[in-house]
Amino acid sequence: MDFAKVLGAIATFLERRRFALAGAFAMQAHGLQRATADLDFVVEDAARVDLLRFMKSLGYEELHASEGYSNHLHADPALGRVDFIYLDAHTADVLFADAQRKRVGSLDLLVPSPEHLAAMKVHAIKNSPVRLYKELADIQFLLELPGVDEEKIRGYFEKHGLRGRFDELKRIIIGRDHDPDDPG
pLDDT in tens, 132-168: 888 999 999 999 999 999 999 999 999 999 999 999 8
3-state helix, strand, coil in the chain (%, to 5): 50, 20, 25
pTM attached to this predicted model: 0.85
Alpha-carbon gap, residue 158 to 74, rounded angstroms: 38
71 to 2, 14, 67, 148: CA distances (angstroms): 17, 17, 12, 30
The mean pLDDT of 81-102, rounded to a whole number, is: 94
pLDDT value for 57: 96
What does the radius of gyration of the chain's CA atoms come to, in whole angstroms?
A: 17
Phi then psi for 53, rounded to 5 degrees? -65, -45
pLDDT at 175: 75
Q: Domain 1-112 falls in which CATH fold?
A: Beta Polymerase; domain 2 (3.30.460)
Position 33 scores a pLDDT of 86
Amino acid 173: pLDDT:
82
Q: In whole angstroms, give the CA distance from residue 105 to residue 171.
A: 36
Rounded (10°) angle between helices 163-177 and 132-143:
60
CB neighbours (10 Å) of residue 181? 4
Quote the DSSP letter at residue 34.
-
Listed by start position, the domains of the chain span 1-112, 113-184
The three-class DSSP label of residue 62 is strand
Ramachandran region, residue 113 (left: φ > 0; alpha: ψ -120 to 50; beta: rest): beta
